[in-house]
Amino acid sequence: MIDRLESTKSEGGRRGRAVPTGAGFGLAGAVIAYVFWGLMPLYWHLMAAVDSVEVLAHRIVWSFVFISAVLVATGRTGEALRHIRAVFTKTHAPMARVIVAASAFASANWLINILGVNTGRVVELGIGTFLTPLATAAIGICVFRERISKLRAAALGVAALGVAALVVGLDRFPTIALSVSATWAIYGALKKKVTLAPLESVMLEHALMLPFALAWLLLGNGGSAALRFFEGFDGISWVLMGTGVVTSIPMILFSLAAQRLPFTVLGIIQFLSPVLTLLLGVFVFAEPLGTAQAAAIACVVVAAVLFVAGGHEERKRAADGEEK
C-alpha cells in the first residue's frame, strides 16, 4: 500500500502520459476542493461571534468525528488502523515526520483563514490564495523537478504579474495574505510525500491535533468553551459541529488530488479558490475592490487560458510520441 504511488507513477511514465494514472479523479477532486475552500468564508462568517481559536478547536474535533464515522460506515476502520500503525514503524519513520509536520501547517492555515474572515480581511485572504498557486507551482518546479511547457511557464508569469499588482495595491503589509499562502503551499508539498490513502491520511492528521484541540476546549479559560457549547446548545453549536463536514470533505479530496496530479497542474487549479473568495469579499462582505485587484483577476483569467493551451500542447506531443 505504501508503495502504491510509486508504482502508479512508473506506469504513467511508461505510457507517456503528461500526468500520473488516476489524474482524472485527482482533477475532479481538486476542482471540488477548491470550490469548497473558495466559498468557505461564508461558513466562517456564521461564527463571527466565536473566538477564532475556539472555532479551530471545534473544527479539529468534529472533523475527527466525521472522518471516523466515514471509516466505520465503509467498514475500513481496521484496515485504516493497520496502515496508520505501519507509518509509525522504523521503516516508515520519515513519512511519520512528514505527517506530523503537515498537521501543524494545516492547523496554522485553518487558523489564519478563520482570522481573515472574522477580522474583516476577506479580500486580503483572497490575495493570499492568489499567492498560493504560485508558491505551489514553484515548489513543483524547484523541489519535485517538474517540467512545464513554455505556454505554461508564460501562464505562471502572467499570474505572477497579477499577484504583484495585488500586493502593491494594498495599503498595509499583507500578513494574512503571505502567511496563508506559505502555510498551504508547504502543506501541499508535504502531502505530496504521503502515500497513505486520502481518508487515512486526513484522519491521522486530525488525530495528531485532537489532544491539543480537546485541551483547549476543556481546560482553556477554565473550560468556558465547552460550557458554552453544551449549556447553551443552539444554532451556533450546530454550526460548530458542521465544521467537521465542511473541513473533511475538501481535505480528503485535496489529499487525493495531491497524490495524483503534478504540482504545477495543482497550482493552477488553486486559482479557483481566490477568485471565489475575492468575489465574496467584494459582493457579499462589501469590501473595496480597487483597480489593482481587478487587473489581477484579468491576469489570472489570461493565465488560466495559457495553461489550458499548454496542457493541450503537451498532450498532443505525447500522442505524437506514441505514434512514432
Q: Which ranges of the chain have pLDDT less than 50?
A: 1-20
Which residues lie below 8 Å from residue 115, measured CB to CB, with a gap of 6+? 52, 121, 176
Tell how far CA 111 is from the center of its chain: 13
- pLDDT value for 7: 38
- pLDDT value for 32: 94
CA distance 84 to 66: 18
- pLDDT value for 8: 38
- pLDDT value for 2: 41
Of 188, 204, 255, nearest to 63 by C-alpha is: 204
- Phi, psi of 33, rounded to the nearest 5 degrees: -60, -45
- pLDDT value for 13: 42
- Cell 482533477 belongs to which residue? 27
Concatenate the DSSP letters of all residues of 185-211 into one string.
HHHHHHHTT--S-HHHHHHHHHHHHHH
Angle at 279 between CA 273 and CA 282, to 5 degrees: 140
Give the Å distances, CA to CA, from 40 to 45, 127, 253, 285. Answer: 9, 15, 15, 13
CA distance 232 to 115: 24
- pLDDT value for 66: 93
Provide Rg for the chain, Cα atoms: 20
